[in-house]
Chains A and B, each alone.
Chain A
Amino acid sequence: MVFSPELAEIRFGCGLSPVQARPQSPAAMVDALLAADVAAQAFPIEPFPAFRARLVEQKRLARAMRQADSPARQAVLKDENRARNKQTRRESILWFGQSLLRWVHTSQGFRERLVHFWADHFTAQGKRGAMTHGGLPYQEEAIRPNISGRFEDLLFDAVTHPLMVHYLDQRSSIGPGSEIAREKPNAGLNENLAREVLELHTLGVSGPYTQADVRQLAELFTGMGYLPHKGFIYRAKAAEPGAETVLGKNYGGAKARLGDVRAVLRDLARHPATAEHVATKLAVHFLSDAPPPELVAHVAARYRETRGELTEVYRALLEHPLAWEPGLQNVKPAFDYVASGCRALALSAERMTGAKPNHLKRVFLGPMKMMGQPWLRPAGPDGWSEDDSEWLSPQGQAARIGWAMSAPTRLTPDLIDPRAFLDHALGPYASPVLRRQVHGAETREEGVGLVLMSPSFQRR
């Protein structure tokens, strides 16, 4: 149970690559998080502030439609809106391509894994119009820059992000005693975000909170909103006046301020139940469905000692001997599966740069949906399942096998020799049985497909 560069890359990174250097120690893996984000620089994705221009434009068109003086004018505006939405959808598919290329070409695999982990922990989805495509811009702004800081900062940026505020209905939650509520008698609270912050983002569902805490937190959250041209805003006029009590502690007072939201999120982030919840989720995600309790305890202790200093939390995970059990365990989710396949194939950025959205849909997004993971569309705010059984359905396996047999030759027409590919993809994890079958394969497609469908390649 010792560190190995191959296991580091398979279990904690994006999978083995024939061209990228492997990390040489746990310390190097953490240090890489503090170095420049090379993959994001090489493969940019539209950041949220730029994405907001699309929301501004949408709002302008909506207003013009309301004010249009003729049905003909209205129809023209409607078409323009539709065309813009279509354009945004096409571009968002290209951003998916960039995400994939980051995974394929990074030398900081642990960073990509953490971005995906936290983006899932803080699942947020657009529900209408252009916002529907805001998932990756949200990650660029709220998640990616925060994965190696303090959990409380990540929490604050994710929870106050316009996409989260939109997704969990926070914008329409108005303090019943607020200034706005006096003008709109039906205005009132919406508990959705407050509940998920306690249940999913911080303490966990078995944490020590009650319905009263949900309610008080919802009152404290009133005032949080966003505007297309400004991004996140805090409207004191919508905020419930007076103090609120969450987990026995008072927040706020005479004047409503965003500082109180920051304070309660900081306290929730530093709560021991959050330490336990985050440590367990990390261990389940990186190790197995039932991780060793002593390892979870070790990670949670470090979290508590450092008040959620994430690089230290990761260090605790990586330094524990049980993190390096040699047997591969978790089954990769669909994206990780296809992306690590592309990494083993050393899919070139040049082949992807000219790719049309429809091509990406055919080769990646469609198959991922069949594998049970439509891109950025989990069923609810709890994100994707960590249960291996979720990815082991016969249907999902059939989709993986279909992809393994057909995609590699479409992606790399000059398909690699499967015997070499076996070493590229699995290194020391190629079993004698697999080696024999791959060496005996009739065609390159078949040989490469067998490697990719093998249990060793699907686990990590």
Chain B
Amino acid sequence: MTDIPTRRQVLNRALALGCSAAASPLLTPLSLAQTPGQNRLVVIILRGGMDAIDVIRPYGDPDYRLARPTLAVGSAQPDLDGFFGLHPAFKNLMPLWKKGELAFVQAVATPYRNKRSHFDGQDLLEGGLVKHDAARGGWLNRAVQLVPGAEMQTAFGLGQGVQRVLVGSAPVAHWAPDADLSLSPQTLDRARQVMSEDPEFSQAFAQAVALSSGGARDRKPEQGKGPSHVNIARYAAEQLRGDTRVVTFSLNGWDTHRDQSGGLARAADRLTQAILTLRNELGNAIWDKTTIVTMSEFGRTVAENGSRGTDHGTGGAMILTGGAVRGGRVFGDWPGLAEAQLFQGRDLMPTADVREMTGWVLKWALGLNTADLERQVFPGLQLGSDPGFLL
């Protein structure tokens, strides 16, 4: 029961990224899904724990500068709303903010608390449950399967590993463009016999063959020029212009324990470029139907640490952008940064659940109903009132 895309589909998709992509340490898998309907959803997982307080800077909070003696310097520019400023590395997103196509949700978290482990935190973020259960797959996979008429065609990623958010009973294969098999038909047949003794190998082999047999010689790979995050975004846009409605990928580099001003600026720059590439390549008509949402496994400590960085925290933030976003606002209840207002005296207190916010995005993007979202996608979650960040 494995859907295997045709070789042509794979080539069309896979080659677009070119070879440079496979070599980048920041490259992460990308997954796609097709559903009926016209709305587009892009989920970007920011791995490492994005520092919400440094991205959407609460310069109007008197405790902010006290907690962040070096990181808070110059924090009011560019200004968002008289209370929050945006990290300057995101300044190229300000035109979207001014058009009302960019919003932020401050002080959100998954149900993950206390241990602050990247690995557990990411499992929970992508699993979307209160307690991680690998067997139930990722929330996005569960959501896509609820869409009537959704064709669960292969979602495949590029590079190493799998994107758990789309893992589940829907078939997933991953592929890198330069892993090509060139076996003679006879050898292929022998190899198939050899693999047939082990079901797991047999399945992987069948997919490998379907993804590359016949040789890629008839089409020259377009070498991906430019950095991999831009190539991924360009490729995602190309798919979203076609039948694809949901894309997810991740960007690493947010674990800024040390010299955060440099590290965060680089990560912010990559994210900005990815977003603007999507904006430019989607075109106006599709952009108007698009929501891009970012999320991260946790936020970071309110206080700066001893290395001009921050350590693993709790409350974080989401970024929402796209023509479908009712933006120009920072959503979420700001809990304050005085010591008594912090979670365990150190972290930004979460005032909303990432999953609740995501639920509203899914309701819009995939047309899911509240009951399904609360029972199937995020079991046990109360969706609450509409935060109103989508058109």
B22 and A369 contact, CB distance less than 8 A: yes
Q: Is A395 an interface residue (CB 8 A)?
A: yes
B283: CB under 8 A from chain A?
no
- Near A by CB (< 8 A), chain B positions 188-222 give 190-191, 193-198, 200-201, 204-205, 207-208, 211-212
User: Do A434 and B194 touch (CB < 8 A)?
Assistant: yes
Q: Mark B212-244 against chain A: 1 for CB-CB distance below 8 A, else 0.
A: 100000000000000000000000000000000
Chain A 405-417, CB-CB to B under 8 Å as 1, else 0, gives 1000000000000
B296-313 toward A: CB 8 Å interface, digit per residue (1/0)? 000000011111110110
Partner of B307 from the list A169, A382, A431, A437 (CB cut-off 8 Å) is: A169
Contacting B at CB under 8 A, from A420-460, are 431, 433-434, 436-437, 440-442, 446, 449-450, 453-456, 458-459
Task: Give, as a whole number of angstroms, the nearest-CB distance from A152 to chain B.
Answer: 23
Which chain A residues border B60 with CB–CB below 8 Å?
none
**Assembly CA distance A123 to B303 (angstroms):** 28
User: Per a CB cutoff under 8 Å, which of B174, B186, B306 touches A393?
Assistant: B174
A173 is an interface residue with CB less than 8 A from chain B: yes
For the complex, would chain B's binding face be called helix, strand, loop or mixed by DSSP majority? loop
* Complex contacts, B119 vs chain A, CB 8 Å: 205, 380, 382
Q: Are B175 and A395 in contact (CB under 8 A)?
A: yes
User: Roughly how many angstroms separate A169 CA and B305 CA in the complex, as a whole number?
Assistant: 11
Asked if B95 is an interface residue, CB under 8 A from chain A, the answer is: no
Pick the interface stretch among B36-44, B109-117, B333-341.
B109-117
Interface string of B1-33 (1 = CB under 8 A from A): 000000000000000000000110100000000
Give complex CA distance A449, B182 in Å: 13
Partner of A211, one of B161, B201, B344: B344
Find out whether the CB atom of A205 lies under 8 angstroms from the CB atom of B115: yes
Is residue A62 within 8 Å, beta carbon to beta carbon, of the partner chain? no
| Contact indicator B116/A211 (Cβ below 8 Å) | yes
Q: How far is the CB of A51 from chain B (nearest CB, A)?
A: 22
B173 within 8 A of A: yes
With A394-B208, A397-B205, A437-B190 as contacts: A189 and B306 at CB distance below 8 Å:
yes
Interface: B329 (CB within 8 A):
no
Of the candidates B23, B160, B182, which one forms a contact with A372 in the assembled complex, judged by CB atoms under 8 Å apart? B160
Stretch among A63-71, A74-82, A191-199 lining the B interface? A191-199
Q: Which of A402, A434, A450 makes the CB contact (< 8 A) with B197?
A: A434
Contact A446 B257 (CB under 8 A): no
CA distance A112 to B115 in the complex (A): 33
Q: Which one, A173, A402, A455, contacts B180 given CB within 8 A? A: A402
The count of chain A contact residues (Cβ–Cβ below 8 Å) is: 60
Q: Does chain B have a CB within 8 A of A88?
A: no
Q: For A186, what are the chain B residues with a Cβ–Cβ distance below 8 Å?
A: 69-70, 304, 306, 308
* A32 at interface by CB-CB < 8 Å: no
Q: Judging by beta carbons under 8 Å apart, are B179 and A205 in contact?
A: no
Whether the pair A377, B25 counts as a contact (CB closer than 8 A) is yes
Contacting residues, chain B, for A195 (C-beta < 8 A):
116-117, 311-312
Q: Are B190 and A441 in contact (CB under 8 A)?
A: yes
User: Residue on A with the closest CB to B187?
Assistant: A446
> A325 at interface (Cβ–Cβ under 8 A)?
no
Interface residues in B, total, Cβ within 8 A: 57
Residues of A within 8 A of B303 (CB): 188
Would you call B181 an interface residue if the criterion is a C-beta within 8 Å of the partner chain's C-beta atoms? yes
B176 adjacent to chain A (CB < 8 Å): yes
- CB–CB A405/B183 < 8 A: yes
A188 and B193: CB pair below 8 A? no
Residue ID in chain B nearest A178 by CB atoms: B306
Chain A positions within 8 Å of B161 at CB level: 372, 379, 385, 390
Q: Which of B176, B183, B194, B312 contacts A191 (CB 8 A)?
A: B312
Which of A172, A181, A369, A397 is within 8 Å of B208, CB to CB? Answer: A397
Per CB-CB distance, the 3 closest pairs between chain A and chain B, nearest first, are A188-B306, A455-B198, A172-B307
Q: Which chain A residues have a beta carbon within 8 Å of chain B's beta carbons?
A: 168-169, 172-174, 176, 181, 185-192, 195, 199, 205, 210-211, 214, 369-370, 372, 377, 379-380, 382, 385, 388-390, 392-399, 401-402, 405, 431, 433-434, 436-437, 440-442, 446, 449-450, 453-456, 458-459
Q: Which residues of B contact A (CB under 8 A)?
A: 22-23, 25, 69-70, 114-120, 160-162, 173-176, 178-183, 186-187, 190-191, 193-198, 200-201, 204-205, 207-208, 211-212, 252, 257-258, 303-309, 311-312, 344, 346
Please name 19 further chain A to chain B contacts, defined as beta carbons within 8 Å, in addition to the given A211-B116, A434-B194, sorted by A numbering.
A169-B258, A169-B307, A172-B307, A176-B306, A190-B258, A190-B307, A199-B115, A211-B115, A211-B344, A370-B22, A393-B204, A394-B175, A395-B173, A396-B179, A402-B179, A405-B183, A446-B187, A455-B201, A459-B198
22 sampled A-B residue pairs with Cβ under 8 A: A186-B304, A187-B306, A188-B303, A188-B304, A191-B257, A191-B312, A211-B346, A372-B160, A393-B174, A394-B208, A395-B208, A395-B211, A397-B205, A398-B179, A399-B179, A433-B193, A434-B197, A437-B190, A446-B190, A450-B191, A453-B191, A455-B198
